[in-house]
Structure 1
């Protein structure tokens, strides 16, 4: 019996072995074998996985018609009908790439984004900005630690790749902010007027930016405000120089919220503690208030409103450069209001973004002189402007990584200027239309193509600006991008004091980038070339005594110039535990013939070499963070440009020139998150100690010259070293763990 059973088992196994059919083949993509592809005979347990060359092989006892499936996360599933008989079956498959929004390469030449972690290295979030030593919690100051941005301490604005501070524009939820910086006195930079916590993300473009934005020769900063808050909260901030408080109220169903805040600042106490370079006869002081609401519609749309009102004033006294006066005095009274309303809604495959903003700005400068303690009559320079912006963008997704968008924009400006015998009423309506498309050809290759057209009622002229960019993935973490764009900008209205036949100023951008981005690390290498045409030339039409100032007016568009350079950016949050650091370096070669320059010169706001290092270390167990930053820039050139008469014609010439000493500043800040109140209470507290320019470097921003050029004085920071101490408290929400997770 045992022999019979053994023989029967042997016979059955032999029969089954003869019944097995081998299925084999190769799976490829663009003629290259693909590994890790799952090859499954549907509705069975039979199958295999491809090897490194894309080959597979397995056996099955199934017979008849079946479906062979080929699946891989990065490729579209392929199904093939096969017939299984007594003969072996060979099946080859050619895969098609699975288009995936996360895996797709994204155009990034000229742009650094901090709003969508799927698409770019998260950079300059509010936590990043608040914890960057030396940034003073200001977005514009934090951008100085990125490649391409110049540190120009005597004037507000973003000086990008050889461009002036007015050649960059800042937008909130798509709408232009006409007065982002506070009013100030010549030689002292205005501060950000907007709270950093208001924004949840940003896209900073140092060139080649989208066709949705215009009127900027150099770059654009696009800020996106927060949506509904997570919880209701009350916030307080206190320091020796300011006091503020605010609240946010969220309804129980989380469909709407509203909030407001107010603050007051005064620098007089710090004047008594520190040795200021600037003699403030009226200590800088200001009041600010803002309000907001957010409403979520039943269909998923979102209304957002933000409004603010600021006032500020200060007075400065300096030794006069003119022999007939002892001192020069300048006093400022400024006020500004800004309102922004936006709406976002999806309609099927379409996304509509509509926004409008209004701003009013008034700057009243009074100039006077003092001799033997007697003050002269004041000379008033008054500027006032109303600005309205309206913008609508309609976008339609074509597939997961392709889209087309278009829309229009209106920007209306109405300004008044009064100075001595000069009175100006400037009005301009810039209307624009634009269209742009994102084309995802594959996960390795994409393009962005845009076109923008504008018409200026003041100039009576129109322009057409094409822009495009390409991106290609070289390897898993390596991508390369190429961008080109044509950009136009109206001449600055402050130089338009008389009728002139002016045109748009123009710049062309060429950008090439190589980037490596992996988890926790990012490396960017970028080369650029900018060509300027139709830049404004000006001439002097008036002057202010004391600390010699001049009033200028635009005469033509005969200016030109170029800027070229290389930039490096490296950020690492992974190598060292609880340490986040980045290094940026910029090389810039630039020359311009514009404004009152007598010839093509290196601009006095452009430095050849700029280096920044930022490092942050957080101790989670102590809830304590230390932050360091260092910035260096090669000394900028300076010029004393005067006018003389040659053959009956006024000609500009350089009377004095030189190079400033190199700029450097080392900054520290410390952040501590103490436990206040009960352990389970919803409260969040941050104590901050910040020291700017801790080594006390005596930096110089430039020189002022007398009318005859024989006397000069250095333009320096208001104070060499500054210490800030403050406490920020929130009730109703505990953000401690979020702060720890973000390496505060």
Structure 2
């Protein structure tokens, strides 16, 4: 450990580094063992090779506590003064117990306890084609659909609105920039802010609600290891910079970062369809603050703000001699504060407040060939010159109490309240909605035996706007059949309010519901991970818009998913393969009868390969994504009776190869603080295959325009550097971390 890694604690002593290994009696590594200085929240978890290293602010005589399911708790006095401590710890097996049973039905976890099992923040940056975007990166996992023309994450037959995102337990209501017809939109958060990512595609915890299909649960970093700064510049037009500062007493940190992205120059160089006459332009800033309170308390504040502006022109589908212009302007302010504290040896409290102020402005115009506005009063043109303004205010309060028992058992119970106020203006017409949604929940984590774990919970929600109460039972089980292999099962009921666009039309709508049934088998061993999962979802009370706005919709989704990841067979090579089979149908919105949704594909597969060449400090990442053709429909309303399907078919299969290359180097070798720099370049859809996501139809059904990506390929090249943190090890650890 270099001297620069040390700091000063409040008593003036050097901050002590504790490091070493944890093994069992057979001298085998014990991965994911928990180490903690008694009476504080300082500690760590061993990696896949049983290694650990952490710094302690406490001083003097202290007690180190080491625990791992299947072993007796180990304690050792340590004198935190004078010099760093290196130790070899041997845990004694607990009689008739195996390694801990971790419930994982329907979820992929990426955290310090599950590195390599799924997606880490570094994966989100380095998987080819992800573009540093969490939602895009998650499409390489089973269950997610390859959607290239809409914002959001589409999971197991669910729409993008049915996946919700949570940060430290708090709902982020607008995780992406607003949707633009035919175009994906980037996420608003930086994956490097998080130490853990849980992608739950079914059967998630009763602590979370308002998501029928999926939950993306993010845990932010408490305190970084050291102060740092970073800067990057990429063509086609992205600049970003930021810093993170550790306070002098080592008990707090604060940071600010920002980015600016403007694609205007790139769109002039690489021909695009549609015709952009502004942007796309995005700028974003965020600030964070972390502070240890007392021995076991942690306070975290996160604030982000952003602005987006995009304007484009397309041929008008109803008259190809005219054009349709679409302009989107958005701004968003999001903030949340989270506090957690140990209360004695067996209780923990976690509380949070969140606030979001979102404004989306959309203008549509009908233009002639010279881009001059045209006004026509007859259908279907009368509403093609319109102005829309949506203003949404969101607030959340949340309190969770946890009582911890022996053998990693616990019970969580708490409550939260959501306040939403939405105002929607269309030209001169104003509509407004206000809702108070309250929820209470309780969930127990039980170790029924050395082989069996269970999680059982119940969630109740009440919406003042709908005047409805829901009860949502959740149950998960895990059965360990050998060290590293287990079966998992989950069941749950999941409710969700209708989107505002439907509530503005009918405020008497009810909650929609999905019932989840999940079973899987997983095996982790020797830096390899295998999972096979089957699921069934039954949808109830989906929103219908034709012939009237009501909850008479229904549907189902069922399928099988496979996932295989291997980090051992080939040195410095990490690859994974995922496959999803999906059988789903819905009768919802304007569908005249039960149909396979237009955003679903029956077969989806991904191959992601990441190879690091230490000799030349170069990372090469390749990914291939496949999706069978998606259905498309021309659904026409009828003056009397239900709508009818006027035309239907299937798109061509989706095939995309992405290539990213990064060369890493240190251009500040004489500096005392570590630095990391690199040059990266890449191409998405390297082979230029033509992708068709669906079709837009004219009102009379005579014109049919394909929905395609703006360009066949997307290129980037740029430079990035960071000070204070050597990211080279992140690339190496990404190859070496155990499963």
Q: Decide: shared fold, TM above 0.5.
A: yes
Q: Is the 8 A contact 2:151 2:178 kept in 1?
A: no
Looking at structure 2, the residues matched to 186 and 457 of structure 1 have their Cα atoms a distance apart, in angstroms, of 32
Mapping 1:671-690, distance limit 5 Å: 671-679=662-670, 681=672, 682-690=674-682
Looking at structure 1, the residues matched to 97 and 112 of structure 2 have their Cα atoms a distance apart, in angstroms, of 18
Deviation per CA, 1:509-533: give whole Å up to 9, x if none.
0001011111311000000000001
1:368 matched residue in structure 2:
365
1:696 matched residue in structure 2:
688
Deviation at 1:741, TM superposition (A): 2.7
Deviation at 1:215, TM superposition (A): 0.6
1:398 matched residue in structure 2:
405
Mapping 1:98-247, distance limit 5 Å: 103-117=99-113, 121-240=116-235, 241-247=237-243
Looking at structure 2, the residues matched to 734 and 372 of structure 1 have their Cα atoms a distance apart, in angstroms, of 54
Mapping 1:356-435, distance limit 5 Å: 356-373=353-370, 374-376=372-374, 378-420=385-427, 422-435=429-442
Alignment of 1:280 with 2:272, yes or no, is no
Deviation at 1:372, TM superposition (A): 4.4
Mapping 1:576-615, distance limit 5 Å: 576-615=570-609
2:60 matched residue in structure 1:
none
Looking at structure 2, the residues matched to 737 and 592 of structure 1 have their Cα atoms a distance apart, in angstroms, of 47
Deviation per CA, 1:434-487: give whole Å up to 9, x if none.
000011022311111000000011100101000101110122332001111011
1:355 matched residue in structure 2:
352
Deviation at 1:231, TM superposition (A): 1.4
Deviation per CA, 1:653-709: give whole Å up to 9, x if none.
111111111001000101111120225542111221121000001101111111111
Seen in structure 2, the aligned counterparts of structure 1 residues 743 and 679 have a Cα distance that, compared at 3 Å, is farther
Give the secondary-structure state (helix, strand or coil) at the position aligned to 1:217: coil
Looking at structure 1, the residues matched to 133 and 597 of structure 2 have their Cα atoms a distance apart, in angstroms, of 26
Q: Which moved more, 1:493-502 or 1:468-477?
A: 493-502
Seen in structure 2, the aligned counterparts of structure 1 residues 122 and 568 have a Cα distance that, compared at 3 Å, is closer
Deviation at 1:251, TM superposition (A): 1.5
2:518 matched residue in structure 1:
511
2:612 matched residue in structure 1:
618
Considering only aligned residues, what root-mean-square deviation do their CA atoms show, in Å? Answer: 2.0
Deviation per CA, 1:582-618: give whole Å up to 9, x if none.
0000000000000110000000011000010000110
Correspondent of 2:637 among 618, 639, 643:
643
Looking at structure 1, the residues matched to 314 and 139 of structure 2 have their Cα atoms a distance apart, in angstroms, of 29
Deviation at 1:505, TM superposition (A): 0.2
2:557 matched residue in structure 1:
563
Mapping 1:455-534, distance limit 5 Å: 455-534=462-541
Looking at structure 2, the residues matched to 471 and 372 of structure 1 have their Cα atoms a distance apart, in angstroms, of 63
1:311 matched residue in structure 2:
307
Q: Is the 8 A contact 2:69 2:408 kept in 1?
A: no
Bigger radius of gyration, 1 or 2? Answer: 1
Deviation at 1:161, TM superposition (A): 0.4
Looking at structure 2, the residues matched to 633 and 285 of structure 1 have their Cα atoms a distance apart, in angstroms, of 30
Moved >3 Å (runs of 4+):
72-77, 95-100, 119-122
Deviation per CA, 1:194-235: give whole Å up to 9, x if none.
111111111110000000000111010100111111111221
Gaps of 5+ in 1: 1-34, 37-71, 78-94, 541-553
Give the secondary-structure state (helix, strand or coil) at the position aligned to 1:375: coil
Deviation at 1:299, TM superposition (A): 2.2
Deviation at 1:324, TM superposition (A): 8.2
Seen in structure 2, the aligned counterparts of structure 1 residues 287 and 500 have a Cα distance that, compared at 3 Å, is closer
Deviation at 1:173, TM superposition (A): 0.4
Looking at structure 1, the residues matched to 475 and 428 of structure 2 have their Cα atoms a distance apart, in angstroms, of 47
Q: Is the 8 A contact 2:446 2:453 kept in 1?
A: yes
Q: Is the 8 A contact 1:246 1:261 kept in 2?
A: yes
Correspondent of 1:339 among 331, 335, 338:
335
1:536 matched residue in structure 2:
543
Alignment: residue pair count: 639
Deviation at 1:323, TM superposition (A): 2.8
Seen in structure 2, the aligned counterparts of structure 1 residues 159 and 73 have a Cα distance that, compared at 3 Å, is closer
Q: Which moved more, 1:124-133 or 1:670-679?
A: 670-679
Q: Is the 8 A contact 1:112 1:205 kept in 2?
A: yes
Give the secondary-structure state (helix, strand or coil) at the position aligned to 2:460: strand
Deviation at 1:236, TM superposition (A): 0.8
Alignment of 1:666 with 2:649, yes or no, is no
Alignment of 1:634 with 2:632, yes or no, is no
Give the secondary-structure state (helix, strand or coil) at the position aligned to 1:127: helix
Give the secondary-structure state (helix, strand or coil) at the position aligned to 1:352: strand
Looking at structure 1, the residues matched to 730 and 105 of structure 2 have their Cα atoms a distance apart, in angstroms, of 31
Deviation at 1:743, TM superposition (A): 3.2
Q: Is the 8 A contact 2:660 2:680 kept in 1?
A: yes
Looking at structure 1, the residues matched to 423 and 311 of structure 2 have their Cα atoms a distance apart, in angstroms, of 23
Deviation at 1:332, TM superposition (A): 1.1
Deviation per CA, 1:699-731: give whole Å up to 9, x if none.
011111111111011111112201111222112
Give the secondary-structure state (helix, strand or coil) at the position aligned to 1:617: strand
Give the secondary-structure state (helix, strand or coil) at the position aligned to 2:625: strand
Deviation at 1:269, TM superposition (A): 1.6
Deviation at 1:75, TM superposition (A): 7.4
